[in-house]
Structure 1
Amino acid sequence: MTALHPTILATSGGFRRSRRLSWEIAPLAQHAVALARVSGRAPRICFLPTAAGDDPRLIMTFYDNAWRHGWTASHLSLVEMPNIDDPAEHLLTQDVVWVSGGSVAALLAMWRLHGLDVALRQAWESGVVLTGVSAGSICWHAGGTTDSFGPELRPVTNGLGFLPYSNGVHHDTEAERRPVLHELIAAGTLPPGFATDDGAGLHYRGTDLHEVVAETPGAYGYEIERASDGTVNETRLPVRLL
């Protein structure tokens, strides 16, 4: 089975601290797997750690988590060379593609260099659920704010654009995220869009926002619009706690 619609779950979460591992799967990631509607076999989950520099420790912990959840796990690394002969074909066979946080600028550059921008669009359109956290959320959108270039937030405007909106992450925990995103939307540098608190996710069906879901009580999603006079309006959206 595949998702009923082209599906993206763009999050500021999906993992949490663990007593046994360096991190463990949290409900947002589990929800992405549920959206794939797999039955009768183990879900196939491919982890893309590009934004984290293909960190082997991150990859190992992903496999440990996947084993504990009964998933059929794989990962796609690009450094020093792709670890899979045909990445595009592999992505099309997955139920979920989960993208780590890290540098969204590096992620976008590497993906385009290796043709993953095209491959991921094909996977999304075929029903593979795309999900991720932070950089793995911004990447699906037109752009957002990033610390990829240094400690001061800067715009990234060359997202994959599957979703024609800007995207803000860590909206409640990193003090500069909200005002910088507002400024960029007000200036027209970024289009209107959506943002998430830590622990919240945006579930898109096609290019329409279907609902906001949260793994943490009190975590919200927001719609950020630009008015005709150039001011910005932020609206807190209804949220469903997982």
Structure 2
Amino acid sequence: MPADAPTILATSGGMRPGASTDIEFAPLLHFAIEQAGVTGRRPRLAVVGTAGGDQRWRSAMISDAGQRAGIDLTQLDLFPMPATTDLDDLVLGQDVVWVDGGSVANLLAVWRVHGLPEVFRRAWAAGVVLAGISAGSLCWFVGGPTDSFGPALRVVTNGLALLPYGNGVHYDSEPARRPAVQAAVAAGELPLSYCTDDGAGLLFRGRELVEAVTERPNAGAYRVERAAGTPNGVVEHRIPVRRLH
């Protein structure tokens, strides 16, 4: 069942340690599933682990979490080869695609080898909800700061650009992230950018931000835009957030 408009939930959260499992789905991931409006059956969720190299131990923990949550979960693995010969059929048959974290630079390179950017663009237009954490947030935007190349952050600008903005993740938990976003926006390396603290998410319908939500108290969301004449060349606005339960 497709969402009624192209939908992306870009987050710095969505999974957490479980009470009786290694991982459980946190409110942001459940919120992504809600956007698909599924009724009368179990939701269908594809989890994409490319950014972490499709590690089997991680896939097993996520599959367990999906089973506990009552979700029909598919792992869209690309290592050592794609999980299917028909990626369009697999992806467009889902309600939600959730992209896990890791290296966004590696993710984008591998996706392009297999034609996934075009597949995800078609799925987005068809109403499959696209979502994810960290690298799985950055990938939908023009780009943003990443530690894909080493501890010192570098800015990637070759994201899928379904959303024509920059993106910053882990804005409160990794001190280098905020200045990196601001410097890139001030220099024109990134366009207007949207950022999330750990536990926060940004819901877009089409290319418009609908709301910011959070699964963690005090987690914030921000809009950073270029502003000539200011001390660091940008203005940062805090976006109101709604707490998920």
TM-score, with length taken from structure 2: 0.97
Deviation at 1:58, TM superposition (A): 1.1
Query: Aligned pair 1:227/2:235, yes or no?
Result: no
Give 2:238's aligned residue. Answer: 236
Spell out the pairing of 1:16-165 with structure 2 (5 A cutoff).
16-165=16-165
Structure 1 unaligned residues grouped into runs of 5+: none
- Separation in 1 of the partners of 2:4 and 2:213? 18
- Separation in 2 of the partners of 1:21 and 1:85? 32
Does the Cα contact within 8 Å between 2:28 and 2:201 map onto a contact in 1? yes
- Separation in 1 of the partners of 2:17 and 2:75? 21
**1:65 aligned counterpart, secondary structure:** helix
Deviation string, structure 1 residues 92-145 (Cα, Å, up to 9, x no partner): 110000000000000000111100000000000000000000000000000000
- Separation in 1 of the partners of 2:60 and 2:75? 10
- Separation in 2 of the partners of 1:226 and 1:121? 28
Q: CA RMSD in A?
A: 0.9
Deviation at 1:217, TM superposition (A): 1.1
Deviation string, structure 1 residues 143-177 (Cα, Å, up to 9, x no partner): 00000000000001100000000000000000000
Deviation string, structure 1 residues 166-222 (Cα, Å, up to 9, x no partner): 000000000000001101111111111100000000000000000000001101110
Give 2:217's aligned residue. Answer: 217
Deviation at 1:2, TM superposition (A): 1.5
* Aligned residue identity for 2:188: G
- Separation in 2 of the partners of 1:165 and 1:98? 20
* Aligned residue identity for 2:190: L
Deviation at 1:61, TM superposition (A): 1.0
**2:172 aligned counterpart, secondary structure:** coil
Give the length in aligned residue pairs: 242
Identity of aligned residues (%): 52
Does the Cα contact within 8 Å between 2:143 and 2:158 map onto a contact in 1? yes
Deviation at 1:62, TM superposition (A): 1.2
- Separation in 1 of the partners of 2:59 and 2:157? 28
* Aligned residue identity for 2:202: L
* Aligned residue identity for 1:26: A
TM-score, with length taken from structure 1: 0.98
- Separation in 2 of the partners of 1:86 and 1:4? 25
Deviation at 1:84, TM superposition (A): 1.3
**2:8 aligned counterpart, secondary structure:** strand
Give 2:178's aligned residue. Answer: 178
Does the Cα contact within 8 Å between 2:228 and 2:234 map onto a contact in 1? no
- Separation in 1 of the partners of 2:65 and 2:84? 21
* Aligned residue identity for 2:144: G
Deviation at 1:234, TM superposition (A): 0.4
Deviation at 1:41, TM superposition (A): 0.7
Query: Aligned pair 1:8/2:8, yes or no?
Result: yes
Does the Cα contact within 8 Å between 2:155 and 2:184 map onto a contact in 1? yes
- Separation in 1 of the partners of 2:84 and 2:136? 20
